[in-house]
Amino acid sequence: MSDLAGKTALITGGGSGAGSAMALAFAECGTKVWIAGRSEERLQKAASAHENISPVVADVTSEQSIKAMFETTGPCHFIIANAGASESAPFVKTDMEAWQRMIGVNLTGVFLTLREGLLKMPSQGGRLIAIASSAGLKGYAYVAPYAAAKHGVVGLVKSLALEVAKSPITVNAICPGFMDTEMTAQSIANIMEKTGMTKDDARAALIAHNPQGKLIDPVDVAKTALWLCSDGAASVNGQAIALCGGEI
Ligand SMILES: NC(=O)c1ccc[n+]([C@@H]2O[C@H](COP(=O)([O-])OP(=O)(O)OC[C@H]3O[C@@H](n4cnc5c(N)ncnc54)[C@H](OP(=O)(O)O)[C@@H]3O)[C@@H](O)[C@H]2O)c1
């Protein structure tokens, strides 16, 4: 996709999982890619995969940190708000701290990243993408704060899409089902701990959500992001694109 070469992308949470898969995919298309996260070591390791990838340490829950991040990167054509985290607990055992953590990283983090990215966007325009989740389109038991945050991301994207519609900018959400990443490995460990299930059974329980009977490959998320940033996707705006094998 030659329309990506020579452009600049910022990917939060780019040091692992879907973020690092997207970073590599854009870098291979000739895009200069900034990857952001809190762990410098993790970012350095991911950045070593390609010479077009550079790390920038940032915490997406902090307004100051996001502003400093864009001071380092300068204007970016493609802003991908991907950083996220999930925790699970029964609703009545969810305390305020857990609620704030989930809203902070998964919703406020997207708000701060897209707002600052839009303010600094080059005059020729660009693309804003939020990595939401199938949990932004349906509910799952024991993750109400995470699902509330991801539904919030979808609402934010649909509203912002109307604001930018007359400009050369689009904003969309990608909503993967359970992916083959560290986050899902952690979910599997939690299920094992709380239910006594074996690792294989816990993994199978998550896979069972997807009618295609598999975890989503982060590379599929990367290819969808490449497409959304290509010239051919200029009319795609305000969409929440489900990548979950027909689960929704
Ligand atoms: N895994 C799934 O099944 C699944 C399904 C649907 C949607 N998603 C969504 O897809 C996105 C990527 O998930 P993943 O599976 O690739 O997870 P992952 O491998 O755990 O990656 C999450 C990334 O977010 C970064 N991060 C977390 N908190 C941060 C903060 N406060 N500031 C900056 N960076 C932060 C982490 O880096 P540091 O810890 O170094 O900061 C990490 O690199 C997330 O938004 C997630 O909710 C995941």
List, for residues 233-246, the tens digit of each pLDDT value.
999 999 999 999 99
User: Could you tell me if residue 248 is inside a domain?
Assistant: no
Give the Cα-Cα-Cα angle 234, 120, 47 (nearest 5 degrees).
85
Total domains present in the chain: 2
The reply to whether 211 and 223 lie within a common domain is: no
What is the average per-residue pLDDT within 102-109?
99
The reply to whether 83 and 167 lie within a common domain is: yes
Copy the structure tokens of residue 62: 């902090």
User: Could you tell me if residue 168 is inside a domain?
Assistant: yes
- Give the CATH number, domain containing residue 93: 3.40.50.720
Instruction: Assess whether pLDDT exceeds 90 at residue 3.
Output: no
Task: Tell me 121's DSSP state.
Answer: -
Give the Cα-Cα-Cα angle 101, 84, 119 (nearest 5 degrees).
100
Note the pLDDT tens digit of each residue in 157-172. 999 999 999 999 999 9
Cα-to-centroid distance, 166 and ligand 1 (Å): 31
* 142 catalytic residue (yes or no): no
Instruction: Assess whether pLDDT exceeds 60 at residue 221.
Output: yes
Cα-to-centroid distance, 13 and ligand 1 (Å): 5
What is the average per-residue pLDDT within 3-14?
97
Range of the domain at 186: 180-215
Pocket test for ligand 1, best of 11, 12, 16, 184 (most atoms within 8 A of CB): 16
